Structure 1
Amino acid sequence: MTRTIRLPWTLPLDRLAIGLSGLCVVHCIGTSVALALMSAAGGLLNPLIHEVGLTLAISLGAIALGKGALEHGYMAPAVVGSLGLGMMAGALHLPHDGSGGSEAVWTVIGVGILAFGHDLNYRATH
């Protein structure tokens, strides 16, 4: 039988990461709507916002999903979350001009997959 290690501070990190994923989706959709309504969205398109967000997502993902894997022994949540992070990182290299919208679409897909990984992690812990 597998020994279970309980790390109580991991659980809020998954919830925080899912909340951060939701904020990312709101940002992506909000930027697309703003671009449709205005010719320039100002600070919403600043690449630094995307870089800081990705860095925060990678940090939370590594801590929460890594500790979850140690706690419950399942790698699937970490693998799913890593796929989402990879898609988000790849989307960061697409044009941010809003002309094609592919950057926002791939980011939202990656965020959804990452949030699903955190949800799997949370469920495996319970």
Structure 2
Amino acid sequence: MRYISGALALFLLLFAVAQYNDPDGLFWAVAYGVPALWAIGFAFAPSALRGTVPAALFTACAIIAFVGVYYFWPQANEWWRQDVWWNDEAAREGMGLMIVAASFLFLAVAIFRTRRHA
């Protein structure tokens, strides 16, 4: 799980860097960067994520991500089709938040499994 978390962090950081020319790039760099930092923390120092404060911060970040999915959910019909999201910025943004939320979901499972076996 730690290796997968490290790979996830790398991908999320690449997504964050790819936002350099987006008009709201800072927002999206933070949106991808926050779960990347949590993934880095889990990959390299999982014991640092134990405790009440890290758990509360992680939970708050995950809730914000899932609220973001609700807020940015694509309104376009068949938004998952390439010809739709290729031309629809809102569909791409919604899919980006889905990636962020899925990352938090993976990390939640990984952290829970690590705590259970510790």
TM-score normalised by the shorter chain: which range applies? Answer: 0.3 to 0.5
- The TM-score, its normalising length taken from structure 1, stands at 0.39
Relative contact order (C-alpha < 8 Å, sep 6+): which is higher? 1
TM-score (norm 2): 0.41
